Amino acid sequence: MSSVPRAWGVVVAAGSGSRFGRPKHALEIGGLALWKRARNALLEGGCAGVVVVGDVPDGVQGGARRRDSVLAGLTAVPQAEYVLIHDAARPLGSASLVASVLEALLDGADAVVPALPINDALKRVSGEMITGHVNRVGMVAVQTPQGFRLDLLRAAHAAMPGDAHDDAQLVSAHGRNVVTIPGEVTNLKITYPEDLALAEKIWSGA
Q: Does 165 bind ligand CTP (CB under 6 A)?
A: no
Q: By CB under 6 A, tell whether 147 contacts ligand CTP.
A: no
Q: What is the DSSP letter of 205?
A: T
* 132: helix, strand or coil: strand
Instruction: Give the whole-angstrom CA distance, residue 170 versus residue 173.
Output: 5
Neighbours of 56 (CB within 10 A): 18
Could you tell me the smallest distance in angstroms from the CB atom of residue 190 to ligand CTP? 7
- Residue 115: count other Cβ atoms within 10 Å of its Cβ: 18
Count interface residues toward ligand CTP (CB under 6 A): 23
Rg (the chain; Cα; Å): 17
Count CB-CB contacts under 10 A for residue 83: 27
Residue 140 C-beta: closest distance to ligand CTP, Å = 18
Which burial class, exposed, middle or buried, applies to 13 when counting CB atoms under 10 A from its CB (0-12, 13-18, 19+)?
A: buried
Compare residues 139 and 192 and give the one whose CB is closer to ligand CTP. Answer: 192
Q: Return the number of the residue (81 or 195) whose C-beta is nearest ligand CTP.
A: 195
Cβ neighbours for 128, distance < 8 A, ≥ 6 positions apart: none
- Kindly write out the interface string for residues 4-43 of this chain, putting x where it contacts ligand CTP by CB under 6 A and - elsewhere: --------xxxxxxxxx---x-------------------
Q: Which is nearer to ligand CTP, 18 or 177 (CB)?
A: 18
Pairwise CA distance, residues 197 & 59, whole Å: 26
Q: How far is the CB of 11 from ligand CTP (least distance, A)?
A: 8
x-or-dash pattern for ligand CTP, window 69-88, by CB under 6 A?
x-----------------xx
Question: In DSSP terms, which residues pair with 60 in a beta bridge?
Answer: 53
Task: Give the shortest CB-72-to-ligand CTP separation in angstroms.
Answer: 8
Q: Is the Cβ of residue 67 or residue 132 nearer to ligand CTP in the bound state?
A: 67
CB 82 within 8 A of CB 105: yes
Judged by CB under 6 A, which stretch of 57-65, 112-120, 135-143, 152-160 contacts ligand CTP?
57-65
Q: Which residues bind ligand CTP (CB under 6 A)?
A: 12-20, 24, 53-54, 62-66, 69, 87-89, 189, 191
